[in-house]
Amino acid sequence: MSNKPNPINTIQEKLRSLFGRTQAASNKKPGAPLLNFWTVLIIFWGLVYLQQSFFAPKTETIPYSRFKQAMAEGSVDDILIGPEKIEGILKGVQGQKFVTVRVNDPGLAKEMDERKIQYSGRTENRFWGILLSWVLPLGFLFLIWRFTAKNMGGSGVMSFGKNKAKIFAESDTRVSFEDVAGIDEAREELEEVVDFLTTPEKFQKLGGRIPKGVLLVGPPGTGKTLLARAVAGEAKVPFFSINGSEFVEMFVGVGAARVRDLFSQAAAQAPCIIFIDELDALGKARGMNAMGGHDEREQTLNQLLVEMDGFDTNKGVIIMAATNRPEILDPALLRPGRLDRQVLVDRPDINGREAILKIHSRQVVLGDDVDLSKIAGRTPGFVGADLANIVNESALLAARSNKDMVEPSDFDEAIDRVIGGLQKKNRVMNAREKEIVAFHESGHAIVAESVAFADPVHKISILPRGIAALGYTQQQPTEDRYLMTRSELLDRLAVLLGGRVAEELVFNETSTGAQNDLQRATDIIRSMVAEYGMNEKIGLVSYDRPRTPMFLPQGYSSEKNYSEETAARMDEAVSLMMEEAHLRVKKILSDKRALLDKLAALLAIQETVRGEELRDMM
């Protein structure tokens, strides 16, 4: 027998090593197709079995001495003599084929002639053996490597410089301006971009230059990405969509290569739209890197600026980008010739919210008594994503109750769930706490109905919701407001203090339940004093807050840009205004103490009171 290593065993060892790494990778990556891995493994072993069973005939390897002995006994026949081995048939073992290694034996042919044994010679053709033993398994290993690289997301070395944009063909976009509502000004601005793409000659014949880029700016959820896809759908052009963070990698130069690849692909498919979502991840102003140096993100941004300067808009490639952090973008991105237009995608007004609700409720079976205009009135400040969530939540609630259609009560519960959080049905409050919460919410509601400029009460509840809300008083604005007068701010302040004052009047002590009310009331007063110039002692001076995100939530900062003496005067003014508001609310609730007791008792029984019931009681 030969001591050479068996090629099949070598291949099996390589496969074990490869599949071991593949299995480890699949364990690290969620959702890896483990079933496909076992399928490939079974197919491989099936091929190995077929090779051993059919391509490699059953042949016994015997020593040369045994071959000579069998020849002397006359039990061999049909000898085939090759350069390295001798093959034949053993007569006494039912035609068993044998093979032996050929040795230097000059008298072998003469001996076979004397014994009248049939023999022949041949030259060794090793092509098929090499093909089956090496080329086929190596080709199979290559296929496994490709299969593994694909399952790992195509993150091989050769794909680093490829852009990761999702390309939507003309027929794949399937979004038009009919799917956009509530942002009419932004829509009109972008309808002109569609004209640029469809009829560029209308603008070029007068010498006009098509804008290179459009920046969509607005709070999260207002529909910036939807607008960009609607432009591509209306113009019926390819749509390249990519996130700003997908350009930057840990390897230097990869982001710049991806930018070049993206623009080269877009130029080949012009006219088209390149949409970069979350541009602030890529376009942050240079020089803001705390570690210093010329990092990879800045190289990527530099390449983007070069590409935006280098292509011709007359070819029909328009860049669209979206961000909710415009204040941190690099000024070079915003200059004319790059992102020429900035379109504000703002929160919708009441008419816009109604139109958005109609779009999202197209596929929802609504009851005849569902009034979308009332729902729009109850959701001031909501963006399109919030309204879509409300419609979906109401449909789920109706389905959970086995209803045939969505009713107003389902929308009511969906709004409460989105605003206040999930209702805690299993939380048990003792009678004392329940009584405190009932008087607290009653104080809010009565003050809201007693002052002139507060929003009317829609619902009062002492059912716990969310993380810390033990009850809530929900007010419904009669209209959208964009300005607040001093009287309106003072009335809003009074409503916030109503719960705390009600506890003082009834129990002669206060609880921790008013903490959030006091925090919001303090913010209102401090803004009136420090920003709006609504305090006589401080005067008509606005002490600006530090620079904060334009469209993201922000709280009041403790940083000061004024003297300690001014700070002391402002603190004194805030305390005085808070005390005046406290005395005002105390007088309102003292005059209506009987109503306060009656409403709290009703709340303790019903747990929820509608605004109409409260107004009837008053």
- Report d(CA 29, CA 24) in Å as an integer: 9
Inter-axis angle of helices 515-530 and 486-507, to 10 degrees? 150
Is residue 67 within 8 Å of 86, Cβ to Cβ?
yes
Tokens 């022949």: give the residue. Answer: 120
Tokens 């009136």: give the residue. Answer: 528
218 burial type by CB count under 10 A (0-12 exposed, 13-18 middle, 19+ buried): buried
User: What's the 3-state SS for 126-169?
Assistant: CHHHHHHHHHHHHHHHHHHHHHHHHHCCCCCHHHCCCCCCEEEC
Does residue 475 sit in helix, strand or coil?
Answer: strand
Note the Cα 109 to chain centre separation in Å.
81
Token pair of 613, please? 């019931």
Residue of 192, 161, 319 lying closest to 254 (CA atoms) = 161
- Report d(CA 240, CA 167) in Å as an integer: 5
Token pair of 15, please? 């496969």
Tally of CB atoms within 10 A around 570? 20
For the residues of 368-390, what is the DSSP string, one character each?
TT--HHHHHHT-TT--HHHHHHH
Which residues 6+ apart lie within 8 Å of 604 measured at CB?
434, 435, 438, 462
Q: What single DSSP character describes residue 91?
A: G
Is residue 140 within 8 Å of 99, Cβ to Cβ?
no
- Report d(CA 356, CA 376) in Å as an integer: 9
Token pair of 581, please? 């508001």
SS3 content of the chain, % helix, strand, coil (to 5): 55, 10, 35
Q: Which residue type does 184 have?
A: D
Does residue 547 sit in helix, strand or coil?
Answer: coil
Vertex 442 angle, CA 607 and 505, to 5°? 130
Is residue 471 within 8 Å of 535, Cβ to Cβ?
no
- Report d(CA 393, CA 402) in Å as an integer: 14
User: Per DSSP, what are the bridge partners of residue 121?
Assistant: 81
- Report d(CA 49, CA 223) in Å as an integer: 59
Q: Which residue type does 598 have?
A: K
- For the question of residue 441 being annotated catalytic, the response is yes
Q: Which residue type does 136 have?
A: L
* Catalytic-labelled residue, pool 441, 449, 612, 613: 441
Tally of CB atoms within 10 A around 79? 19
- Report d(CA 599, CA 441) in Å as an integer: 9
Residues acting as catalytic residues: 441
